[in-house]
Structure 1
């Protein structure tokens, strides 16, 4: 029998694909919704394909589609995209200790293809491997995650944009619950008890408060920074 430390890069890559596959049930309809909304705003399938391929981050893509109009508010879209994607700075910082020792030519693609889902799965896998005394970060496993998520997301978003004008209000279909369900599953897999989850709860409370009291996407950096501050506070040596 092959043990985890004897797994080949090919086996690890396939493991990443296999473990990521159930998540696609939630991602696929969400990608279609993004594409359909873009198509209804006048985006072509090629524009949607290029946007999702170069700015691989679902939340900011939805924001960009909502702001899409003629003339195109480029500066506003860029600012909102940066604001929403600022959470990736913190995600990258959390993943950075596990990327030590990798050459820059591998680290940069790993960070480019990092999404909420691939980050959560890669980090959870690294923590499990570390607990088993194995090399913490499995780049082939992470690459399998990223490849599946990337191809499915940009492909179905492009398909959605191509057929978008044929549909009405897709938000009324109820597919919007699919993505939150995916995140709940990811959080469940990272659950280590209430004490460890306190920064999550602080982040949630602050994000909800800012969302209800301020316009724009300020709730994203507010929730991220408050969660980071809470984690630092409770993580200080006593």
Structure 2
């Protein structure tokens, strides 16, 4: 297909949309909880919707929200959101070979729509770079479904926040939805180990104020991931040296 063909007509668009459709229920459930949480925190409907549209990072929103309600220092809120989103630096580095030929504006546009599942599903689909047009189409299909699912249910949560009773336990339901999405991303030994370390670190640091145990868990998981990648990269070199000897 030529570069003039719309992305939505590319076969990879349908593939990306179909793969995201399978987890859209969990994404939507978590978006509903996020909308309710923002509204009940007193942000106001307009500000809550604006925050969802501008940030589009559910984990960062929900990590920063209780800090905002508690009146935490601004630097703590920024630091928490920054640490929660540090994983996107890794995503960016992983995607560089796939999208480096695109103009900066297009790369920034793709970055806005990138979420965890989009990155993981993309890397499953394209272990190695194939064609930048196919890459764009797949991300477009994947991101369209996830963005619509998240934003529509977030807005619904904001609208229905005043009529949904607390006893429904939507926070727990949302946690289960997020847990389901997270489980689908645990695809190998590295991700399982990083998740286990993050869980242990979060529990060990639970007594920290302002939910800083989340920051500790993220830092621990990232450290484990970087260490495993470093060891994995060094092992082939060591084997090659041994064979040469």
The aligned counterpart of 2:232 is 234
SS at match of 2:22: helix
1:175-186 correspondence runs (5 A):
175-186=174-185
Q: TM-score, normalised by structure 2?
A: 0.80
Q: CA deviation at 1:181?
A: 1.3
Q: CA deviation at 1:62?
A: 0.7
In structure 2, C-alpha distance between the alignment counterparts of 1:172 and 1:64, rounded to whole Å: 16
Deviates most, 155-164 or 81-90: 155-164
The aligned counterpart of 2:149 is 152
The aligned counterpart of 1:194 is none
What whole-Å deviation, never above 9, does each CA across 1:140-181 have from its counterpart, x for those lacking one?
110111122122212211221222132215346534212221
The 1:179/1:125 distance shift into structure 2, 3 A limit, reads: same
1:72-83 correspondence runs (5 A):
73-83=73-83
- Give me the CA root mean square deviation: 2.5
The aligned counterpart of 2:140 is 143
Structure 1, unpaired ranges of 5+: 192-196
Contact 1:49 1:155 in 2 (8 A): no
In our comparison, the structure showing a higher alpha carbon Rg is: 2
SS at match of 1:43: coil
Q: CA deviation at 1:80?
A: 1.0
What whole-Å deviation, never above 9, does each CA across 1:162-219 have from its counterpart, x for those lacking one?
22132215346534212221232233xxx4xxxxx34324322321232122231221
Structure 2, unpaired ranges of 5+: 239-245
Deviates most, 18-27 or 161-170: 161-170
Q: TM-score, normalised by structure 1?
A: 0.82
